[in-house]
Amino acid sequence: MAAPVEVAVCTDSAGQLWNCAVWELHSGTSLHTYRGGQTGPRSLALLNGEHLLAGQLGKNYICAWELQRKDQLQQKIVCPGLVTCLTAAPNGLYVLAGIAESIYLWEVSTGNLLAILNRHYQDLSCLAFTDDSSHFLSGGKDCLALVWSLHSVLQVEQSKVPDPRHVWSQHTLPITDLHCGFGGPLARAATASLDQTVKLWEISSGELLLSVLFDMAIMSVTMDLAEYHLFCGGTDGSVFQVDLFSWPGQREKTFRTEQENGKLFKGHRNQVTCLSVSADGSLLLSGSHDETVRLWDIQSKQCLRTVSHKGPVTNAFIVLAPASMFNPDCKPALPLPKFSKNLLGTESSEGSGTEAVMLRLGVHRQVGKQKPRTPIGACDLPGHRIIVLELMGPSGHLVTEAPRGE
């Protein structure tokens, strides 16, 4: 499989045969299964093309598999509480988890817990990064969707509470799903809610671009890569297609089912919880509480394939398969570290005889006192000596401070 292969990655709440299944999108051939536990809704993520992370349904831990190892569970990441949603940064440097009403941000290379964000008032339901990993979005049962600048979150002092870049409060019932398009901070994002609306936003300005009203609650939302269409999954099993290229410019629109017969995907018998579009925009993947995953031809609205599960589908998305998935000899560049349950600086400072300086090196750099490593350089400051230690991984160098003369 030298050429890029699109695969469907799916989980259900039963987990009888496996936790997660991977199958080739066009042929339906089963490629991999990963065993151990049951993955919760919006709690499945690929990390750096090397690991599969899955927040466990009703549990306080995340399962992690090496992609090429198939049925062998590699690691459990214990969290401070029940994991309600999970995502990983596209650049592979950070992992986000929703734990009750808080957002936990970890650095992958060290396992350090960098931030705990408490700006939601009820449980988190969904998290998503922008494609350039510069921002992330959070949605919760408190009807709020928040946009966060990763740079701002990392640079703020621990004594201060980071502020979101935007607070979107126009939904009147809990947010069920969100989707972020391409373009980094210039991208558009869509939010779905039990209030029967899907709203389209501009991340850079925070402006509401479009609000679409349906005749039922919406449980899932996605867009194609070209952002020509919004796809919205309803509680009755219908999937609605909203055309954005013919959008006349008004900010409010009502989707009238009787007038939009050519814009409906019908086949599911229960609420549609997951939606994803293929890279070429021709295929739509949907997962439902009716215990099936369906693959649709977008143009004809015909169902091409139905894959049965043993329980309600909690995650289903299309992704270009990483090369490591098909190479049993491929190993991760770095093993996953032990993820900390305490904020960086609070755990390492306990019982320490000397104080340490923590320096933040740029947007994707976060460092702190760690186990001794070989010095690769040093410089003197009045009363102190700064020692630069080598740190493997993408997060740069580890910088610690020792009193002069040590």
**Full DSSP string of 347-363:** TTTTT-SS-------ST
Please report, rounded to a whole number, the percentage of residues in the chain having pLDDT higher than 90. Answer: 64
pLDDT averaged over the chain?
A: 84
Tokens of residue 126, six digits: 């969904």
Ranges assigned E (strand) in 217-340: 218-223, 229-234, 239-243, 252-254, 264-265, 272-277, 283-288, 292-297, 302-308, 313-320
pLDDT value of residue 331: 80
**pLDDT tier, 351 (very low <50, low <70, confident <90, very high otherwise):** very low
- Quick one: pLDDT band at residue 102, thresholds 50, 70, 90? very high
Residue 294 Ramachandran class (φ > 0 left, ψ -120 to 50 alpha, else beta): beta
Residue 79 CA to residue 61 CA, distance in Å, equals: 5
In this model, does residue 53 exceed pLDDT 50? yes
| Region for residue 205 given its phi and psi (left: phi exceeds 0; alpha: psi -120 to 50; beta: otherwise) | alpha
Q: Is residue 332 part of a domain?
A: no
pLDDT exceeds cutoff 60 at 162: yes
Q: What is the pLDDT of residues 267-303, one digit of tens each?
A: 999 999 999 999 999 999 999 999 999 999 999 999 9
Q: Is 181 inside a domain boundary?
A: yes
Question: What pLDDT is attached to residue 354?
Answer: 35
* Sequence-distant (≥ 6) Cβ neighbours of residue 174 within 8 angstroms: 122, 125, 140, 141, 142, 143, 193, 194
Hey, what amino acid is at 37? G
CA nearest neighbour of 308 among 7, 16, 3: 16
pLDDT at 404 (0 to 100): 42
Within a domain: residue 92? yes
Report pLDDT for 206. 96
Does residue 383 lie in a domain region?
Answer: no
Q: What pLDDT, on the 0 to 100 scale, is given for residue 160?
A: 79
- Whether pLDDT at 200 is above 50: yes
Which tops the pLDDT comparison, 47 or 73? Answer: 47
pLDDT of residue 242: 94
What spatial distance separates the first Cα and last Cα of the chain, rounded to whole Å?
Answer: 55
Is 89 within the bounds of a domain? yes
Mean pLDDT of 45-65: 93
pLDDT band with cut points at 50, 70 and 90 for residue 332: confident
Over residues 343-354, mean pLDDT: 51
Question: Residue 358 has which token pair?
Answer: 């923590």
| Neighbouring C-alpha atoms within 13 Å toward the C-beta of 307 | 24
* Higher local confidence (pLDDT), 18 or 156: 18
Percentage of residues in the chain with pLDDT exceeding 70?
Answer: 81
Indicate if the pLDDT at residue 16 is higher than 90.
no
Instruction: Please say whether the beta carbons of 179 and 193 come within 8 A.
Output: no
Phi/psi at 291 (nearest 5 deg)? 70, 30
**356, part of any domain:** no
| pLDDT at 4 exceeding the cut of 70 | yes
How far are the Cα atoms of 132, 400, 402 from residue 353, in angstroms, in the given order?
40, 14, 11
Q: What is the CATH number of the domain that holds 219?
A: 2.130.10.10
Residue scoring higher pLDDT (323 or 196): 196
Number of domains in the chain: 1
- What is the arithmetic mean of pLDDT over 302-322? 94
H or E element: which one contains 152? helix 150-155
pTM: 0.83
**118 pLDDT exceeds 90?**
yes
Provide the pLDDT for residue 333.
Answer: 80
Domain interval for residue 131: 6-326
Residue that is written with structure tokens 């894959």 in the block? 307
Q: Which pLDDT value is given to residue 347?
A: 53
Report the C-alpha gap between 213 and 402 in whole angstroms: 61
Residue 77 pLDDT more than 70?
Answer: yes
Residue 379 lies in a domain: no
* Residue 186 φ/ψ, nearest 5 degrees: -95, 5
Position 345 scores a pLDDT of 64
Write down the pLDDT at residue 219.
98
Contact 180, 201 (CB under 8 A): no
Model confidence at 369, in pLDDT bands (50, 70, 90)?
Answer: very low
Residues contacting residue 203 through CB under 8 Å, at least 6 positions apart: 130, 135, 137, 147, 166, 180, 185, 186, 187, 188, 189
pLDDT band per the 50, 70, 90 thresholds, residue 61: very high
pLDDT over 90 (residue 9): yes
Decide if pLDDT at 2 tops 50.
yes
| Weakest-pLDDT range from 58-67, 105-114, 325-334 | 325-334
Q: Which run of H or E residues covers position 155?
A: helix 150-155
